Amino acid sequence: MKSGVSPPGDYVNFKSKVPLHKIPIGSKHWRYYDFGPKMVPPLICLPGITGTADVYYKQIMALSTKGYRVISVDIPCVWNNNEWVQAFEKFLDAIDVHHVHIYGTALGGFLAQLFAQHRPHRVKSLVLSNAYLETKTFSAAMPWAPIVRWTPSFMLKRYVLTGIRDGPHEPFIADSVDFVVSQVETLSKDDLASRLSLSVDAASVGRLPLSDSSITIINTNDFCGIPQEMRDEVGKRYPGGRQAHLKSGGDFPFLSRADEVNLHLLLHLRRVGVEA
């Protein structure tokens, strides 16, 4: 959605049907969508650096019609991974959700694994898309990380947008890029700075108490801002997990290949015993 371009019709329909929730919890402000039957254990969607709760609107609409509950969240302003784990647990407490299944993409996939590692009793399964296990590669590529809090907003936006591969793209991928770029424009300076800080905060995913059979990995085979070797490490870490390879889809397959992604999410939820 470049300047002057109308939002997609299905997104307009989504906004007319699904309310946006905003709640303060301590010093954190949470922005999220929660749609579907409240008695069903939810699938919680965590975006990457450039994402918002809105980027998963196609998953919310598709899965809720099948009887599943989907909660899509913005990552709030947290500056390190310990703070993330504590803040996310408080969020789950506030919305009275105790056990979750998490779908995380890129940074969201990394944060999902950290939460599963440190709060194992709360996470029942994971779906990881274009995710990774450690931050040192990103830290090495961002020597100015110590001053990220004081970096002007326009520079932060320029930096995160350079990580999105520019065209030419086939139409569905081009539309996904346009939509995500439009969402980046809604992010505040602190939103961007804190997410970049999370992406370089020294951390790596340790051993998860989850069995590999509770993990699905969805990766695209064409191009992605997360280096291939980092994504490959995720598959090696969970050799017993279900691996789904999308022939194409770019950085945002949940938008550009929504039907395929939604099918894999449905299969995952059924496999781990979530009954709609």
Quote the DSSP letter at residue 235: H
Segment 176-206, tens digit of pLDDT: 999 999 999 999 999 999 999 999 999 999 9
Segment 34-66, tens digit of pLDDT: 999 999 999 999 999 999 999 999 999 999 999
**pLDDT tier at 23 (50, 70, 90 boundaries)?**
very high
Burial (CB count within 10 angstroms: exposed 0-12, middle 13-18, buried 19+), residue 31:
middle
Quote the DSSP letter at residue 225: S
- Residue 123: predicted pLDDT: 98
Cα–Cα distance for residue pair 183/28, rounded to 1 Å: 20
**DSSP secondary structure of 71-97:** EEE---S--SHHHHHHHHHHHHHHTT-
The region of weakest confidence among 34-48, 121-135, 223-237 is 223-237
Contact residues for 231 (Cβ-Cβ < 8 A; gap 6+):
130, 131, 132, 219, 224
**DSSP secondary structure of 24-71:** EETTEEEEEEEES-TTSPPEEEE--TT--GGGGHHHHHHHHHTT--EE
Task: Indicate whether 89 pLDDT > 90.
Answer: yes
The CATH number of 9-204+211-271 is: 3.40.50.1820
Q: Within 10 Å of residue 132's Cβ, how many Cβ atoms?
A: 24
- Residue 180: predicted pLDDT: 95
CA-nearest of 98, 45, 49, 95 to 68 is: 45
**pLDDT tier at 1 (50, 70, 90 boundaries)?**
very low
**pLDDT tier at 170 (50, 70, 90 boundaries)?**
confident
Q: Cα 101 vs. chain centroid, distance in angstroms?
A: 13
Mean pLDDT calculated for residue range 83-98? 98
Segment 234-250, tens digit of pLDDT: 999 999 999 999 999 99
CA-nearest of 122, 117, 114 to 95 is: 122
How much is the pTM? 0.95
**Which residues, in sequence order, are bridge partners of residue 25?**
28
Task: Indicate whether 3 pLDDT > 50.
Answer: no
